[in-house]
Structure 1
Amino acid sequence: MTVDGAIENRQIVEAWQRIEGWLQEHAPASYAALLPGAEASQAQAVQDVVQVPIPQALTTLWRTIGSNLVRGVFLRNYDLIPLDAVADFYRSRMVEQKGEEISTAEEGRPLWAPEWIPVFSEHRTSQAFVLYLDAASGLLHDWSRYGENNYGTDNEELDSLSTYLEEVADSLEYPAMATRDKAGLIDGALVWQSGIEPGEHDRWTACR
């Protein structure tokens, strides 16, 4: 492992410890619903499906963070995709891409590329909107089943896994400084402002 890789692994673990500690203190319902990190065999099962080497940072993320049984704890109420769903999603997207001689995306861009690994989604069982890690660049990108923002835009804020987690931790610990999303609580659970559902606004309390 390179020095840079070791640093990113440490940053991922430390950022998650900050997030987990905040949840334990401020959002007990979300904390209680956290699942344990993945076993090495689970990560290997995904590697057996993915057609490129999985970055060590992503393996560290999977081994450190478990999925959440309630609403997601990441920006926009996203959650870490369970590893069996990662494999299924990747496999289905690659089959879909292979079946398209000409992509429906603009300028012949792929529907899905081998180096794209799904990581976070708006719902742990329905991945219509996903953050994927580009294994070639090490950066996260938005992907939508409906074609929006699949290939990056001038306004897209690109993160590595470590900077993304640090952004989440900073937004929780210093809510006045949060720029991309605002944290709040509903019945002891973390709910990000961008993901408040209809009828929930009166129950949502912003973190200060």
Structure 2
Amino acid sequence: MVEAWQRIEAWVQEHAPASYAALLPEAGAGEVEAVQDAVRVQVPEALTTLWRTIGGNTLRGVFLGNYDVIPLDRVADFYRNRMVDCEGEEISAAEEGHPLWKPEWIPVFSNHRTSQAFVLYLDATSGLLYKWSRYGENNYGTDTEELDSLCSYLEEAADSLEYPAVATRDKPGLIDGVLVWQSGIEPGQADQWEPVTD
């Protein structure tokens, strides 16, 4: 996983300087411990490694689907807020297999730097990433589960950047030095987006 991130970081530094300039330093031990204290399950080692390696960033587009690592202070806040939401959850919703949130779900990636309306979370039990939306679509238990490990998600992003011709899930491109994946092109940006080629 660390090697995959180093490949992504090197590519971004060379080809997407605006995205590279927005990267934050790796998280310190105290920051990681604060998140561990905030969640109700043991944070998997793979995730603590990710945080200590990457930390977080402030521009969209570094990872597949235009997701970025959520800064750690926001991880703790997001998790606490979701658990508060669950306190008033209807039993019938849980019985239907659509819980609002579970203690073992740890938010990791977001495709919006402030709202976290769309999140990839790590299920601490399975070690897999899933999509979550505050609007209810693409959540755990549906047919659109992400089903990636942290390592495979980063490796696919690195492969897609270095070998865009073989990218299957999303295609990388640039807008004014910012890495923007094809799925994240906003209205009015299509003519500015330049696909990355080999």
- TM alignment of 1:44-55, pairs within 5 A: 44-55=33-44
* Residue 108 to residue 192, structure 1, CA distance change in 2 (3 Å): closer
Following TM superposition, by how much is the alpha carbon of 1:108 offset from its aligned partner in structure 2, in angstroms?
A: 4.8
Aligned pair partner of 2:89 in 86, 96, 100: 100
* Residue 103 to residue 195, structure 1, CA distance change in 2 (3 Å): farther
Q: Which residue of 2 aligns with 1:90?
A: 79
Aligned pair partner of 1:129 in 104, 118, 121: 118
Q: Which residue of 2 aligns with 1:203?
A: 192
Answer with 100-109 or 22-31: which moved more: 100-109
| CA distance, structure 2, for counterparts of residue 100 and residue 140 of structure 1 | 23
Identity %: 77
| CA distance, structure 2, for counterparts of residue 171 and residue 58 of structure 1 | 22
Partner AA of 1:19 in structure 2: I
Q: Which residue of 1 aligns with 2:173?
A: 184
Q: Which residue of 1 aligns with 2:129?
A: 140
Is 1:32 the counterpart of 2:21? The answer is yes
How many residues get paired? 197
Answer with 179-188 or 145-154: which moved more: 145-154
Is 1:72 the counterpart of 2:72? The answer is no
Partner AA of 2:151 in structure 1: S
| CA distance, structure 2, for counterparts of residue 165 and residue 83 of structure 1 | 18
Aligned pair partner of 1:57 in 38, 46, 62: 46
SS in 1 for 2:179: strand
Aligned pair partner of 1:163 in 145, 152, 170: 152
Is 1:20 the counterpart of 2:15? The answer is no
- Gaps spanning 5+ residues in structure 1: where? 1-11
| CA distance, structure 2, for counterparts of residue 79 and residue 155 of structure 1 | 20
Following TM superposition, by how much is the alpha carbon of 1:155 offset from its aligned partner in structure 2, in angstroms?
A: 4.7
Partner AA of 2:57 in structure 1: N
SS in 2 for 1:202: coil
| CA distance, structure 2, for counterparts of residue 156 and residue 54 of structure 1 | 21
SS in 1 for 2:50: helix
| CA distance, structure 2, for counterparts of residue 42 and residue 156 of structure 1 | 29
| CA distance, structure 2, for counterparts of residue 70 and residue 157 of structure 1 | 22
SS in 2 for 1:191: strand
RMSD: 1.4
Following TM superposition, by how much is the alpha carbon of 1:110 offset from its aligned partner in structure 2, in angstroms?
A: 1.8
| CA distance, structure 1, for counterparts of residue 55 and residue 176 of structure 2 | 22
For the 8 Å contact 1:89–1:118, the answer to whether it is kept is yes
Aligned pair partner of 1:112 in 101, 104, 116: 101
